[in-house]
Amino acid sequence: MRGGGDMQGLYKIVFATCNKKKFEEVKEILQEYNIELERRDVKGLEIQSDELAPIALFSAIQAYNQVKREVIVEDSGLFIKSLKGFPGTYSSFVYRTLGLKGILKLMEGLEERSAYFLSSLGFCDGKEVKLFLGKVEGWVSYSERGDRGFGFDPIFIPEKLDKTFGELSLEEKNKISHRSRSVRQLAEWLKKYRQLTK
Amino acid sequence: MRGGGDMQGLYKIVFATCNKKKFEEVKEILQEYNIELERRDVKGLEIQSDELAPIALFSAIQAYNQVKREVIVEDSGLFIKSLKGFPGTYSSFVYRTLGLKGILKLMEGLEERSAYFLSSLGFCDGKEVKLFLGKVEGWVSYSERGDRGFGFDPIFIPEKLDKTFGELSLEEKNKISHRSRSVRQLAEWLKKYRQLTK
């Protein structure tokens, strides 16, 4: 079954992710567009690259081959300028090993704390593969603040705010986050090229 | 052309690597076994995994598909106990971004400095895919010492020595290193199952 509008005007796609908090974030945004999201764990290979784009495209194709329905995958990374882009595309491994404390230790004594979060969203329906990128600039905080969100959220302060992502509600984060930007691009694209009611 | 003995009794295989220092290390060891090594840059995908083995096996198959001759690939990682195995399979990215100084900073104040180097060597001849692992236990030093070798060599002290890999000659390193262990296993296997003169 491919995605598409049903009797109730809902458009359904699959999000291949095992991260439930990430799923909730994306689901929340897509509801605004009448798009219903279904979570699926998809096992497969992940390729290594210093760039997020090829990883998301490869994963989207691989996920489609397993679920055989319109599917999205999403990969994010925190790129810290003074650490030459570390942890970047390896953010999830670095989070599991060094954690927030490791990043703060690496940044000790550094005044240049600018960083950005990049979200790379891959879409595949078996015919088309699309990539949507979302970015938010900001800084690495001097300490952990807040316990919302996930991953490096408690040490990232987006520009024009004095709170970390970890201190924002889901609604606030979804207004400005890198992920919300890539997801909204996807939604706009679906609206334009598919039969969305909104 | 597949590998095999020629008139001079030399057995030839390809090493797919763009690291010339690594190539020299491996070449030196295989000469003891009358195996001649040819270096080739092979472009391709690298998969992500917290384990080296699948990465080497995937890369070996991919390299074979390009060179169509007996080929080896080798991937190493430094696994630091108190950093939960970091940098592990992502050692080359971490070396390029954080460098030796980054690892030493992460280890500041830590007395538990045990670590190991793991070498994962993949071999493929189009029919068989083989994996050889080599490991050396040791410690992370408190400062950079020596400028030989490459990568994290200047901050790794193998057990039973009070020198870092960076302070060892190629000959000394090749007696004990993780890489020499995986490479000698390959050589012994080739000796047993192929037409090696030695």
User: Is A188's pLDDT higher than 80?
Assistant: yes
Sequence letter at residue A160: K
Given A6, A41, A50, A75, which residue is catalytic? A75
pLDDT for position B78: 98
**Residues A131, A132, A136, A142, CA torsion sign:** negative
Mean pLDDT, chain B, whole residue set: 92
pLDDT for position A1: 40
- State the average pLDDT over residues B76-80: 97
Are residues A143 and A78 in contact, defined by beta-carbon separation less than 8 angstroms?
no
Are residues A94 and A80 in contact, defined by beta-carbon separation less than 8 angstroms?
no
Place of tokens 């969203």: A121
**Cβ–Cβ below 8 Å for A50 and B93:** yes
Across the interface, of B48, B50, B94, the residue whose CB is closest to A47 is B48
Rounded CA gap, B81 and B113, in Å?
7
Strands B87-88, A114-124: pairing kind: unpaired
**Cβ–Cβ below 8 Å for A86 and B97:** yes
Residues whose CB is less than 8 angstroms from the CB of residue A62 and which lie 6 or more positions away in sequence, other chains included: A42, A44, A45
Mean pLDDT, chain A, whole residue set: 92
- State the average pLDDT over residues B50-61: 90
Q: Percentage of residues in chain A with pLDDT exceeding 90?
A: 82
Q: What confidence tens digit (pLDDT) does each residue in A133-182 have?
A: 999 999 999 999 999 999 999 999 999 999 999 999 999 999 999 999 99
Provide the Cα torsion B12, B16, B22, B28; round to 10°: 0
Rounded CA gap, A192 and B84, in Å?
46
pLDDT for position B45: 80
User: Is residue B87 reached through a cis peptide bond, with omega within 30 degrees of 0 on the bond before it?
Assistant: yes
Q: Which one of B84, B96, B97, B110 would you mutate to disrupt binding with A, by most A Cβ within 10 Å of its Cβ?
A: B97
- With beta carbons under 8 A apart, name residues in chain A contacting B108: 105
pLDDT for position B121: 97
Confidence of residue B51 (pLDDT cuts 50, 70, 90): confident
Q: Measured between alpha carbons, how far is residue B105 from residues B8, B62, B83, B164 in Å? A: 52, 37, 12, 18
**Cβ–Cβ below 8 Å for A105 and B105:** yes
pLDDT for position A10: 81
**Residue-wise over B56-74: b if at least 16 C-beta within 10 A, else e?**
bbbbbbbbbeebebbbbbb
Q: First CA to last CA across chain A, in angstroms? A: 22
Given B6, B41, B50, B75, which residue is catalytic? B75
Residues in A whose CB is inside 8 Å of some CB of B read 45-50, 55, 58, 83-86, 88, 90, 93-94, 96-98, 102, 105-106, 108
- With beta carbons under 8 A apart, name residues in chain A contacting B93: 50, 86, 88, 90
User: Is B157's pLDDT higher than 90?
Assistant: yes
Residues whose CB is less than 8 angstroms from the CB of residue A116 and which lie 6 or more positions away in sequence, other chains included: A78, A79, A135, A136, A137, A138, A178
**Cβ–Cβ below 8 Å for A108 and B105:** yes
Domains of chain A: which residue ranges?
A: 11-193
Confidence of residue A9 (pLDDT cuts 50, 70, 90): low
User: Is A65's pLDDT higher than 70?
Assistant: yes
Secondary element (H or E) of residue A187? helix A178-193
pLDDT for position A157: 98
User: Is A76's pLDDT higher than 50?
Assistant: yes
pLDDT for position A2: 43
- State the average pLDDT over residues B126-144: 96
The model's pTM: 0.84
Q: What is the CATH number of domain B11-193?
A: 3.90.950.10
Q: What confidence tens digit (pLDDT) does each residue in A86-135 have?
A: 999 999 999 999 999 999 999 999 999 999 999 999 999 999 999 999 99
Sequence letter at residue B105: K
Q: Which of A37-46, B152-161, B172-181 has the lowest mean pLDDT?
A: A37-46
Known catalytic residue at A75? yes
Q: What confidence tens digit (pLDDT) does each residue in B2-27 have?
A: 455 455 568 999 999 999 999 999 99
Provide the Cα torsion A142, A144, A145, A151; round to 10°: 120
User: Is B114's pLDDT higher than 80?
Assistant: yes
User: Is A63's pLDDT higher than 90?
Assistant: yes
Our measurement of the distance from residue A39's CA atom to the centroid of its chain's CA atoms, rounded to an integer in Å, reads: 14
- Pick from B188, B146, B179: nearest CA to B23: B179
pLDDT for position A99: 97
Across the interface, of B84, B98, B108, the residue whose CB is closest to A97 is B84
Q: What confidence tens digit (pLDDT) does each residue in B97-106 have?
A: 999 999 999 9
pLDDT for position B1: 40
Sequence letter at residue B3: G
**Cβ–Cβ below 8 Å for A86 and B98:** yes
Q: First CA to last CA across chain B, in angstroms? A: 22
Got the DSSP string for B101-140?
A: HHHHHHTTT----EEEEEEEEEEE-SS-EEEEEEEEEEEE
Q: Percentage of residues in chain A with pLDDT exceeding 70?
A: 93
User: Is A43's pLDDT higher than 80?
Assistant: yes
Provide the Cα torsion A87, A90, A92, A97; round to 10°: -70
